Amino acid sequence: MKVLVTGGAGYIGSTICSALEDSGHTPIILDNLVTGRVEFTRGRIFYQDDIANVAGLERIFQEHPDIVAAIHCAALIIVPESVEKPYEYYTENVAKSLVLFRTLNRLGCNRVVFSSSASVYDTVPGFMVREDSPLRPGSPYARTKYMMEMILQDFCHAYGMKGIALRYFNPIGADPKMRSGLQVRNPSLVLGKLVNTARGLQPAFEITGTTWPTRDGTGIRDYIHVWDLAEAHVMAVEQFDQVFERLGGGQSYVVINLGTGRGVTVRELVEAFERVYGKPINKVEKPPRPGDVAGAYANADTALRLLGWKAKLSIEQAIADALKWAEIRDRVLHYE
């Protein structure tokens, strides 16, 4: 089946495209390359365009009337940047998704899988969150995700669309077949920073926050291999209609956590990294950064119940894949 993947030239979107292809499907990529990489679109159907360009979307659907679903990954994603540039974040993520959803609906593409984020959750005692746990998005970025979920839910209710919002926990790793991985040179994500420290590109790994009420004082997260995450999207589009049959009750919108169901602290992640890497790395302890939270991990029961999906790959495998990707990245990507 053909699936529109917005943001398909990005880290997660490109991995989803590989997983779709491995399952015999055809991704149609729509990406403006603001952070994505053209190298990840090679050999794939690719439209370099903005998600809010209505004429561009019309052209895609004219040329591919057999698209059965859309996976909407395109977004700006850097939390501190969203604090400095809320206008850009609300425009790119919220206003443009509004246009995208409207246009998809008008063009008859009423199955939407949306990349949401665990950053919408409030911190809860014990740190495990279910889909109905309290929400408290703590940054402009997280609020854009929250708003996009609300918009999608209201559109599903009003306009005959169906939506699956997948709340990702903390994606790490790279495509195990090394077709893609984290493309940014100075990643804001934790594993990217560990890899850069190991490779001598930054002097030390900063453990930001050591007095959180967790088992060792450092933040707790649910690190999920990006390949597991990508496969969940394949299952979501393959079983899209069945998901709503399983839900019953005429529902048209559902939220699903995508995590391993296991919380890992920053110190535990660093230890796992050092085990896989084979030697210790430089680390320094720092106070939390503005907007940091103790964290959360997923209750992943809904994904198992509705999609038959659960994470299979270990954190060690994700670290090994990230390290392997770091070795070859500059040969795959041609930086100016």
Annotate 190-230 with DSSP letters as a single string.
HHHHHHHHHTTSSS-EEEE-S-SSSSSSS-EE-EEEHHHHH
Residue 198 CA, chain-centre distance (Å), reads 24
The residue from 11, 121, 141, 253 that is catalytic is 141
Is position 277 annotated as part of the catalytic site? no
Structure tokens at 151: 């918009």
x/- track of binding to ligand NAD for residues 96-125 (CB under 6 A)? x------------------x-x--------
Q: Measured between alpha carbons, how far is 115 from 189 in angstroms, rounded to an integer?
A: 17
Residue closer to ligand NAD by CB (options 77, 161) is 77
Q: Specify which residues 183 forms β-bridges with.
A: none
Phi-psi region of 27 (alpha: psi -120 to 50; beta: other; left: phi over 0): beta
| Location of structure tokens 């593409």 | 109
Task: Report the 10 Å Cβ neighbour count for 328.
Answer: 12
Q: What is the chain's alpha carbon radius of gyration, rounded to the nearest angstrom? A: 19
Q: Measured between alpha carbons, how far is 98 from 208 in angstroms, rounded to an integer?
A: 35
Q: Measured between alpha carbons, how far is 85 from 151 in angstroms, rounded to an integer?
A: 21
Of the candidate residues 69, 77, 272, 276, the single one contacting ligand NAD (CB under 6 A): 77
CA distances (Å), 47 to each of 30, 133, 182, 229, 281, in order? 5, 38, 21, 24, 41
Cβ at position 40, least distance to ligand NAD in Å: 8
Part in contact with ligand NAD (CB under 6 A); list of ranges 74-82, 127-135, 217-225, 299-307: 74-82
Part in contact with ligand NAD (CB under 6 A); list of ranges 28-36, 200-208, 269-277, 313-321: 28-36
Of the candidate residues 5, 10, 129, 302, the single one contacting ligand NAD (CB under 6 A): 10
Residue 111 CB contacts under 8 Å (≥ 6 apart), including other chains: 68, 69, 70, 161, 162, 237, 240, 241
Part in contact with ligand NAD (CB under 6 A); list of ranges 72-80, 202-210, 234-242, 328-336: 72-80
Cβ at position 280, least distance to ligand NAD in Å: 26
- Count residues near ligand NAD (CB under 6 A): 28
Cβ at position 51, least distance to ligand NAD in Å: 4
Residue closer to ligand NAD by CB (options 246, 332) is 332
**Using rule CB under 6 A, residue 74 touches ligand NAD:** yes
Part in contact with ligand NAD (CB under 6 A); list of ranges 7-15, 211-219, 237-245, 269-277: 7-15
Cβ at position 249, least distance to ligand NAD in Å: 28
> Where does this chain bind ligand NAD (CB under 6 A)?
6-7, 9-13, 31-36, 50-51, 73-77, 92, 96, 115, 117, 168, 170-171, 189
Query: Which residues participate in catalysis according to the annotation?
Result: 141
